[in-house]
Amino acid sequence: MDTLKVALLGCGSVGSQVARILRDDTDALTDRVGARLELAGIAVRNLDADREVELDKSLFTTDAESLVQDADIVIELMGGIEPARTLMLSAIGHGASVVTGNKALLAEDGPTLYEKADAAGVQLSFEAAVAGAIPILRPIRDSLAGDKITRVLGIVNGTTNYILDQMDTTGAQFDDALADAKALGYAEADPTADIEGHDAAAKGAILASLAFHTRFPRSEVHCEGITSVTADDIAAAKDAGYVIKLLAICELQDDGGSGVSVRVHPTLLPREHPLAAVHGAFNAVFVEAESAGELMFYGQGAGGTPTASAVLGDVVSAARRIVLGGPGRTESAAARLPSRGIGTVETSYYIGLDVADESGVLAKIAQVFADHGVSIETMRQSMHPHTSGVAAASADPEAKPTAELRIVTHRGRDAALSRTVEAVKQLEPVNAVTSVLRVEGV
Ligand code: HSE
């Protein structure tokens, strides 16, 4: 086994860097593996497309299936569900190990691929699918395999972290921060998958499956994006000592771990939390484990060369396993914990209210919280400037005084917290519920 044939499917920004590193670092990789990694070919849709890296033209083919049949290791970087799934299954069927960054496919149909890979005794690895360059899946799957992970909090989408960070640091509105993210190439022309939280939700499903040894499909992930976060929300959070981040939160139920919940939503974090210091388009994953305690993994979550690092790590690992022998093992799903819906999650809420400033209002609101068994941790009131003092007198003399209330609750069941918000909305002195955000990390 002097040489292992590597087939590359897809030659976009990550694929072209993978090809470059395989070409330029052949000797170093050979030393690490104990066999030479030969890039046997690169399957693409369009042979004439411009590439980011100058590569030997004779490597390119449109016949992905033939390339796969003759490979020891297949690197799938085409993205999408088909033909990626069929080609990966074909590779596994031919005894090849597979390395992929395809989070959408893994989140949708991972178990089929894991089962086939396990049955064939080949390795299926996907470090590049979550948080780009950050080594997070292998630490969760291997390094922490002897521990009990209780919670994973991830900033796993760089585009949304950039947008929220811009809003936080410059006071920008969402639309302006999104336009900046597009101009810098972080956000796609159609940014839906990022800003609606779908990209983070697919990554959350993968993180939860590995962390809790349980198959966790994307369809079970509660998902809210950042499109309704306003500059006012950010300013109010800042004023109260928080920062708003889009988090993928994977956690064991507080009752000793009888189930798992995974959710993606904008979240208030105390500004002193380590994740609050993750700026720009960077990613980070914060892991809480029974014995290890708190761990944080930080780095670039996207980009051709950083993501290629994760792909090459998987390729070297798969190649070593082939050289040394022994079956691959892709999945540890023996725990089979039930998935718990968002209503059962324990969290706390930040609630912004616009209310009439008159006697008895606070008492009425507090009573609704008490009726629902929800305990208030802090309540801050500030007058709306246009309805008080000199400003009010010079504006509309008829305007009734209103105040802004900002309430942070103690932790409680999400279902009780959201019922409380619905009941508060119905109170006559409440003009509007201006924001509802979950708080974590306190
Ligand atoms: N679009 C993703 C992000 C990168 O903004 O982080 C690919 O997963």
pLDDT digits (tens, 9 = 90+) for 91-137: 999 999 999 999 999 988 898 999 999 999 999 999 999 999 999 99
Strand runs labelled E in 255-374? 260-270, 282-289, 293-300, 346-356
Sorted by sequence, the CB contacts under 8 Å of residue 387 that are 6+ apart come out as 357, 399, 400, 401, 402, 403
Ligand 1 atom at minimum distance from 162 CA? 5
Q: How far, in Å, from the CA of 158 to the mean position of ligand 1?
A: 6
Distance CA 265, CA 218 (A): 15
Ligand 1 atom at minimum distance from 158 CA? 6
Sorted by sequence, the CB contacts under 8 Å of residue 430 that are 6+ apart come out as 353, 354, 355, 356, 365, 424
Distance CA 247, CA 266 (A): 6
Q: How far, in Å, from the CA of 157 to the mean position of ligand 1?
A: 5
Q: Which of 13, 159, 163, 188 to mutate to test the pocket of ligand 1 (most atoms within 8 A of CB)?
A: 159
Catalytic residue among 103, 116, 182, 203: 203
Q: Which of 199, 247, 311 to mutate to test the pocket of ligand 1 (most atoms within 8 A of CB)?
A: 199
- Encode pLDDT of 56-93 as tens digits: 999 999 999 999 999 999 999 999 999 999 999 999 99
pLDDT tops 90 at residue 332 = no
Structural contact between residues 404 and 340, judged by C-beta atoms closer than 8 angstroms: no
Confidence of residue 391 (pLDDT cuts 50, 70, 90): very low
**Which protein residue's CA is at the shortest distance from atom 7 of ligand 1?**
302
pLDDT of residue 187: 85
Q: Around Cβ 142, how many Cβ atoms within 10 Å?
A: 12
pLDDT tops 90 at residue 320 = yes
Distance CA 442, CA 243 (A): 12
Q: How far, in Å, from the CA of 243 to the mean position of ligand 1?
A: 21
Ligand 1 atom at minimum distance from 193 CA? 1
C-alpha of 385 from chain center: 39
pLDDT tops 80 at residue 1 = no
- Encode pLDDT of 131-164 as tens digits: 999 999 999 999 999 999 999 999 999 999 999 9
* Ligand 1 environment, Cβ below 6 A: 157-159, 186, 194, 199, 301-302
pLDDT of residue 390: 44
Structure tokens at 341: 């819906």
Q: How far, in Å, from the CA of 195 to the mean position of ligand 1?
A: 10
| Mean pLDDT computed over 6-10 | 98
Ligand 1 atom at minimum distance from 186 CA? 5
Q: How far, in Å, from the CA of 349 to the mean position of ligand 1?
A: 28
Q: What domains can you pick out in the chain, each with its CATH number?
A: 3-133+305-324 (3.40.50.720), 137-300 (3.30.360.10), 345-439 (3.30.70.260)
Q: How far, in Å, from the CA of 176 to the mean position of ligand 1?
A: 19
pLDDT of residue 331: 74
- To the query of whether residue 203 is one of the catalytic residues in this protein, the response is yes
Distance CA 162, CA 177 (A): 8
Summary mean pLDDT of the chain? 93
Distance CA 150, CA 286 (A): 11
pLDDT of residue 389: 47
Distance CA 332, CA 68 (A): 26
Structure tokens at 117: 């890979």
Structural contact between residues 314 and 125, judged by C-beta atoms closer than 8 angstroms: yes
Distance CA 207, CA 152 (A): 8
Q: Which of 186, 245, 305 to mutate to test the pocket of ligand 1 (most atoms within 8 A of CB)?
A: 186
Distance CA 402, CA 65 (A): 67
Query: Distance from first CA to last CA of the chain, Å, rounded?
Result: 54
Q: Token pair 């616009």 is at which residue?
A: 354
- Encode pLDDT of 189-220 as tens digits: 889 999 999 999 999 999 999 999 999 999 99
